[in-house]
Amino acid sequence: MRILFIGDIFGRPGRTIVRDKLKDLVREHRIDLILANGENAAAGFGITPALAEDLFDLGIDVLTTGNHIWDKREIIDYFASANGDAHSPARRVLRPANYARDLPGTGLYQGTKNDVQYAVLNLQGRVFMASNDDPFRIADELLTRLKEKIIFVDMHAEATSEKVALGWYLDGRVTAMVGTHTHIPTADERVLPGGTAYITDVGMTGPYEGVIGVRKEQIIGRFLNNMPVRFEPATGDTRLCAVVVDADDATGRARSIERIMVS
């Protein structure tokens, strides 16, 4: 199975470049399964049900998220609308699995694509972020339940150390662990010795003529004077950042991971 994972899709520029480039990427890289982090799809802050379904219509199979998941409150009713249907679009939007158990939504999706069973697990870090449950132990707990060989993990986290540590911790137990959230791609993609494809951050899919997606004047102003400001999405220099993971269906081990940036 060949898996494309697209990093944090940011606002209209991010959604537009996905729409424009996805078909060619899928053909060129012979992709079977398409995953993306959609936490910034709605002008940088959260994702609405309509935007999630637009992304599904483009061919994305599962959307992961992160700390921005509750920014658009409609997502709460959307999660409820899945109503026990394990494959409805609403069930294919994940929130980090290590949030409190009684919160809406879920952090794990189990599906089948091209006759191959797969699972997607969304986790969030705790270093320089809200204090959620332990992502290491929640991963342990969920992985013992899974029978799928192909398991893809999005670790949405700020600290590189926490992501590197989780990569080593999960090595040999999952097909891939990729980092999201910092919006800056890292050049450390590799397959770890146990067969887990790893990258610290996939990078943002959105406008790079800004500061991690936001208009640069607003962020520079914030650093200069610390006054609150309403952040607006940047425009310009839009890039799509992703990785392609090639995995052995029989063992779930990754054969390769390739970093992609297209503009």
Q: Where in the sequence numbering do the catalytic residues fall? A: 68
* CA pseudo-torsion sign 9, 12, 13, 15: positive
Cβ closer to Fe ion: 76 or 184?
184
Q: Are 18 and 8 in contact (CB under 8 A)?
A: no
The interface with Fe ion within residues 223-252 (CB under 5 A) comprises none
**Of 35-43, 98-106, 161-169, 230-238: span binding Fe ion (CB under 5 A):** 35-43
Q: Which is nearer to Fe ion, 66 or 195 (CB)?
A: 66
Instruction: Give the nearer residue to Fe ion in terms of CB position, either 40 or 98.
Output: 40
Does position 201 interact with Fe ion (CB under 5 A)? The reply is: no
Residues 147-173: b if buried by 16+ CB within 10 A, e if exposed: ebbbbbbbbbbbbbebbbbbbebbbeb
Question: What is the Cα–Cα distance from 132 to 126, expressed in whole angstroms?
Answer: 6
User: Given the complex with Fe ion, which of 67 and 98 has the nearer CB atom?
Assistant: 67
181 binds Fe ion (CB under 5 A): yes
Q: Which stretch binds Fe ion (CB under 5 A): 25-33, 59-67, 117-125, 145-153?
A: 59-67
Selection from 200, 185, 186, 177 nearest residue 254 by Cα:
177
Residue type, 142: L
Return the residue matching tokens 């992703």: 242
In this chain, which of 6, 14, 25, 67 binds Fe ion, going by CB under 5 A? 67
8 binds Fe ion (CB under 5 A): yes
Residues binding Fe ion: number (CB under 5 A): 6
Q: Is 40 in the site for Fe ion (CB under 5 A)?
A: yes
Give the whole-angstrom CA distance, residue 35 versus residue 33. Answer: 7
Binding region for Fe ion (CB under 5 A)? 8, 39-40, 66-67, 181
